[in-house]
Amino acid sequence: MPNPRRGEVALTIGSARYTLCLTLGALADLEAAFGVEDLGAVAERFGSGRLSSRDVLTLLAVALRGGGHALSDEAVAALPLPDGIEPVAQALADLLLATFGASPANPPRPQGA
């Protein structure tokens, strides 16, 4: 069960339940993945509300590992989405809110969704 005081968010994909969390290490991984120098740049990137599917995949993979799930990027990319992208996008929006403390102007959604 996710602990909201730790910034954890639940995500259910099919019959599997996951905990998402952006730990300090996860945030450092995001900085490296997006080639930015600080957390402000990470928040700005996600605050635009427009994310590519690659952005969503990177954020989801890092958040899953931060939540204690030892999944590779390839394993995350292969996760089935029986309910579509909407539950993932909502969980990631909730996670960003829990982590950065302010809601983005528009919740993150993959382009074309």
- What's the total number of domains in the chain? 1
pLDDT attached to residue 57: 94
- Beta strands in the chain, from DSSP E residues, in sequence order: 9-13, 16-20, 50-51, 109-110
CA distances from 105 to 31, 88, 108 (A): 21, 18, 9
Token code pair at residue 7: 């910034």
pLDDT attached to residue 79: 94
pLDDT attached to residue 112: 53
Q: What is the DSSP secondary structure assignment for residue 13, as one 8-state letter?
A: E
pLDDT attached to residue 92: 92
Q: Is the pLDDT of residue 104 over 70?
A: no
Between residues 41 and 11, which one has the greater pLDDT?
A: 11
- pTM, two decimals, is 0.83
Q: What is the DSSP secondary structure assignment for residue 5, as one 8-state letter?
A: G
Give me the domain span that covers residue 58: 4-110
Between residues 91 and 45, which one has the greater pLDDT?
A: 91
What are the tens digits of pLDDT across the range 58-103?
Answer: 999 999 999 999 999 999 999 999 999 999 999 998 998 888 875 4
Q: Is the pLDDT of residue 107 over 80?
A: no
